[in-house]
Amino acid sequence: MKSKPPHSASTDTDADLPSASASVESPSATFNPWAAAAAKHKDSDSQSEEPSSSESSPTSSPQSSLKPQASSVPKSERVNKARGEGEKPVNRAKPAYKERSASSDRAARSMGERGAKPSGKRSADGKWVFEKKSDKSPYASSTKPIGLHPRNPHSGRYDMTLLVEVLPDLADFLQLNPSGEQTIDFSNNAAVLCLNTALLQHYYKVEDWSIPKGYLCPPIPGRADYIHYLADLLAEHDVSKLSTNEPPRILDIGTGANLIYPIIGTHAYGWQFTGTETDGTAVRNAHAIVEANPSLSKTEILMQRNSEFLFKNMIRSGDYFEATMCNPPFFSSQREAENQAARKWKNLKGEKGSVTRNFGGKSNELWCEGGELAFLKRMMRESVNYADQVGWFTSLVSDGDHLPLFKKVLQQQGAKQIEITPMAQGQKVSRFIAWRY
C-alpha cells in the first residue's frame, strides 16, 4: 500500500478541536462523587487549570485528588444540634463508583516527574510482572480529569514546523490562529487527515498509512490516552496468571480501517494485537496497513461474520488476552448522529448546522440499534462466557449517565471488580469502563 496525498476522507476531530479556554466538564460527564465538596473548591480549581486540547494541553499535573472537607464542628455537637432542632443528622452519600483503588491514590499523590513507560518481564513462575513507575497517571484517582495522560506525547501544541518536515504536504493546510500561532482548520477533513498522517509518521514510525474515503479518521491524542490508561490498569493489576503471552496480547473489538489502537499500542508498549471487524473494506485496509509497516507484523486482523456477536469466534480455544478494548458506536440512529454533527458544525463555524460529519465514519462505526447502551450491555453479557480467557474487558463510554446501569449489569454477571477511568482531551470529557471476573 502506497501513501497517497490527503483526500476528502472524513475526519474525527472530537478530541482535536483547538481550545482557548480551560477544559470544562459537562454536567452529564462529571465523575466527582462528592459534588458538594467540589462546589466549594470550584474557584480554586479553575485557577489551577490551564488550557487543554489536542493542540494545547496542560503539562503540569495535580499533586493531590479532590477530597471532601471535614467539618470544623465536632461530630457530637452536630448530632446534638440536629436532635435539638428536631432534625435528623445528614448522612453523606457514598461514591457510586470506585474510581481507582487506594494504592492508585497513594501513587497519584507521590507522583514525581514523568518517567519511562511501564515495562514488564516474565517471572520465574511464568507470570507477567509489570514494573510500577512513578509516572503513573495523576488522574487515575481524580474525579475531574484535567488533560492528557502524562505519557501521551501529544500534550501541548503541535510542532507544525517539525510535522511539515515529516510530511511537506501539511504546509498547504497551515494557517495562523488569532494568537499568531500555526494551526490548521479542524473543520477541514482533508487538513485533519494530513495532520494525522504526519503524526503517525513522526511519533509511531508508520510510514505508509491511508484510509478509504468516508471512513473514520480518529483523533490521535484521545486514542493514545486510552492506550496509556490501559497500560496503567495492567501495571496495577496482574491478570497474566493463565497467560503464556510475551508480550501481552490485546483484543481490539471493531479495529476499523484506520487500525489506530494497534498502531499506538504496538509502538508505545510492544503489545501484540488482534483486531476484529465486521466491515470487509475496513478489514482489507487494515491488512494493507499491516503489510506495509514491518513494525505491525505481529498484528492479526479477523473478520467477524456474525455481527450479533462480539467475542464469539474471535476468542478461540487456547487464546488468552490480557485485555480487550473497544470504541463502540455511540448513536442509536443516523438521525441522532446527524443532529450531533449539526450542533458540532455550528460550534466550529458559527454557521447553520450541517448534517455532514466533519470526522465522517460509516454507519457501523457510528450507530447501531439501541446505541451505546444496547451495544455495551450485549458486550457485558457475552463477556462472562470468556471470563477465563481475558484479564480485563474494557470499553470507552461516551455517556456518563449510562454508568450506573452498566455497573448493575456487570454485578448481575458476577464481575468481581469494576473500574471507571476518567479522561479528558480539550473540552471533551470521556472515560472507559473495565471489568474482570
Q: How much is the pLDDT for 187?
A: 85
User: What pLDDT score does 240 carry?
Assistant: 72
Task: Give the pLDDT confidence score for residue 345 in this predicted structure.
Answer: 54
Q: Is 13 part of a structural domain of the chain?
A: no
Q: Confidence band (pLDDT; 50, 70, 90) for 425? A: confident
Put simply, whether the predicted model's pTM sits higher than 0.75 gets the answer no
377: in domain: yes
Per the DSSP assignment, residues forming a β-bridge with 435 are 393, 418
Q: What percent of the chain has pLDDT over 90?
A: 50
Give the number of domains in the chain. Answer: 1
Instruction: Give the pLDDT score at 275.
Output: 98
Place of cell 472530537: 14
The neighbour count for residue 146, using CB atoms within 10 Å, is 21
Q: CA 12, CA 193: separation in Å to the nearest integer?
A: 9
Reported as a single tens digit per residue, the pLDDT across 46-68 is 444 443 333 433 333 333 333 43
Residue 251 lies in a domain: yes
Q: Is the dihedral of CA 379, 380, 384, 386 positive or negative?
A: positive
Q: Which domain holds residue 287?
A: 27-41+48-57+95-154+219-436
Is position 199 within any domain? Answer: no
> Could you tell me the three cell numbers for 419?
473500574
204 in a domain, yes or no? Answer: no
The reported pLDDT for the residue numbered 193 is: 95
Mean of all residue pLDDT scores within the chain: 73
What does residue 197 show for φ and ψ, rounded to 5 degrees? Answer: -60, -40
Give the CATH number of the domain where residue 115 resides. Answer: 3.40.50.150
Among all chains, which residue has been given the C-alpha cell 515495562? Answer: 119
Query: What is the pLDDT, as a whole number, of residue 330?
Result: 72
pLDDT at 300 over 60: yes
Predicted confidence at residue 410, as pLDDT, reads 98
Is 169 within a domain? no
User: Helix or strand or coil: residue 320?
Assistant: coil
Does 415 map to a domain?
yes
Q: Is 163 part of any domain?
A: no
More confident residue, 368 or 17: 368
Q: Which pLDDT band holds residue 417 (cuts at 50, 70, 90)?
A: very high
